[in-house]
A and B are shown apart, each in its own frame.
Chain A
């Protein structure tokens, strides 16, 4: 039997086919493991039964109301709970950023073709309470440049609050304040966002911010005060944003000297962001451009651009390069650049997570009358625990053109009035 040529041929053919099948299987295995997102996943259950929703029960979390979940999942009497529907529904709920885990299960309905839907949700513990709120406390110790006297060394305090489920209906808000050693507000930001419009894939945000350039020069970009009301619409991987902006340098404290006083008008822009800006850095990039044709003075049309790229190495931390520019008309421009290295030092499935970071920032402001440059290096430690972030950092070197300018001005004013500044030895 074994010596029969036909049997031998059949055996060889069988082995050959087996090897080919095995090879193809392995190639596909590797391909789909390495590039899982490049291929569509067929999870259809073909002839397996599907049911329409009879009722919904939500257990495990009180962060979102049943009505709001109905609205988000767009459930109607005709909704068939297929595997495809399940995938969309889970993406939608987890994407709200309030849950860590959602589990969908069907229970026997009261009539054929219908089933009761049970959703078990577990809260995302990185934020607290039903409003999914988080806090941030920060302390900055600043060592100014050597040509400034020691009394100009100061501390800054930072307080941040963020919530992404206000009123249990997905309203979003963020508040950030930095208080300088003299008790004044060095940086303030208040942002509010309406719940996302699911069907239209649009969201609305309003942001108001003030920055004192003598304290936080690198956080200004051309203006000391900014207000924006922006709609963001998603289109094929890009976010198109449009709305109204108001940029001002009119306030005595929150202004860039000799820069344009006011730009306001409609703004339109495009953003492409692939990074989730979460506690731990994420690989990806951001690119954005926008245009604001000023209603006050057409020669002050404002163009903004931003580029950022984050690289993450296995166990060696993350490196981010970023730069942004704001050009007002032809005469005035503002450039900022930063290189930042972040090193996660504790990562566990529970409890404290933290990272060390060091960044080098540079700034250049050019106005019709003058030109300013500045740079600073910041090293810090940042940790996260149950809804709160703590941040302590030390600015090793600081060259703030406005701080120096302010000191020079103050000194000259003192001299004009024949006064002696405190701590200034003759």
Chain B
């Protein structure tokens, strides 16, 4: 339990955004979800692997632990809002000598570890979300929109506060205007906002049949 909670708690702190340090630059992307019948029922597949930015790839391959959060909601997510229940939370670390990605999927439970030499090891398990909740499936049968955010960060909320405190102390109280120009928008990571178009189930089935 202790082992499983620590990374989760770290991520909880990581994903909340400070009002002072606007910790990320938002980009807006659009993607289309797909329907899949798994035998147990219909599932909406949200695959955002293609939306991964160059910057985010760089962060994942940095060689330091990187936390990633893919959050999905039926309403648009606000910066200061707690992440929704539909989320994939992972930690990935690239071993520069062995050239391997060590991925830990933290949420949803159970915690799972994956290791491999390709980025897919991480992206397949952390950037593809499957929605199978019957209520949501029913609501989106005739199509609709979902909202998602993808955050890839090396830093935590705790760090944003530390940087601010560090700057405050350097003012020294004597030097007038030393930080008077600072706008308070340091960037600590990359975040992408994603608008997800969910096609109607019937349209999707027709498309699949035509493709066959």
Report which A residues bind B (CB closer than 8 A).
25, 28-30, 32-33, 36-37, 39-45, 48-49, 51, 81, 83, 86-87, 90-92, 94-95, 97, 100-101, 103-109, 112-113, 115, 122, 124, 126-127, 134, 136, 160, 162, 164, 172, 174, 176, 189, 191, 193, 196, 203, 205, 207, 228, 230, 232, 234, 239, 241, 271, 273-280, 282, 284, 286, 288, 349, 353, 384, 387, 389
Contacts and interface: CB of A to CB of B under 8 A. Distances in A.
Contact of B179 (A39, A48, A97, A241): A97
B175 A174 contact: yes
B173 A239 contact: yes
Given A109-B97, A228-B174, A100 B187 contact: yes
A107 B166 contact: no
B6 interface: yes
Contact of A191 (B64, B154, B158, B174): B174
24 contacts: A36-B12, A40-B158, A41-B156, A49-B97, A49-B98, A83-B64, A87-B156, A91-B163, A95-B167, A97-B167, A104-B62, A105-B64, A127-B182, A134-B181, A162-B181, A164-B178, A191-B175, A193-B178, A232-B172, A273-B171, A276-B182, A279-B183, A384-B181, A389-B181
B12 A43 contact: no
A106 B154 CA distance: 13
Contacts of A241: 172-174
B159 A91 contact: yes
Contacts of B102: 48
B180 A279 contact: yes
B46 interface: no
Contacts of B16: 32-33, 36
A322 B113 CA distance: 55
Contacts of B178: 97, 162, 164, 172, 174, 193, 277
A51 B96 contact: yes
Contact of A124 (B14, B58, B172, B182): B182
A353 to B, nearest CB: 6
Contacts of A196: 170
Given A41-B13, A241-B173, A278 B181 contact: yes
Contacts of B183: 126, 278-280, 353, 384
Contact of A189 (B95, B99, B176, B179): B176
Given A101-B187, A239-B173, A276 B167 contact: yes
B58 A205 contact: no
B95 A205 contact: no
A386 B120 CA distance: 41
B159 A87 contact: yes
A232 B174 contact: yes
Nearest to A95: B166
B49 interface: no
Given A33-B12, A126-B181, 10 more contacts: A37-B161, A43-B156, A48-B93, A90-B163, A91-B163, A100-B187, A105-B61, A275-B168, A279-B182, A288-B173
A273 B155 contact: no
A289 B32 CA distance: 61
Interface string B170-202: 111111111111111111100000000000000
A168 B9 CA distance: 39
Contacts of A91: 159, 162-163, 166
Given A90-B159, A106-B63, A106-B64, A278 B173 contact: no
B20 A115 contact: no
A387 B9 contact: no
Nearest to A25: B8
Nearest to B157: A36
Contacts of A113: 97
Nearest to A312: B19
B151 to A, nearest CB: 14
Given A86-B64, A97-B167, A106-B64, A280 B184 contact: yes
Contact of A43 (B10, B25, B172, B182): B10
B164 interface: yes
A32 B9 contact: yes
A196 to B, nearest CB: 6
A127 B177 CA distance: 12
A81 B64 CA distance: 8
A349 B25 contact: yes
B97 to A, nearest CB: 6
Given A29-B12, A162-B177, A384-B181, A203 B170 contact: yes
B158 A37 contact: yes
Contacts of A115: 63, 96-97
A97 B178 CA distance: 9
Contacts of A86: 64, 154
Contact of A176 (B8, B9, B12, B177): B177
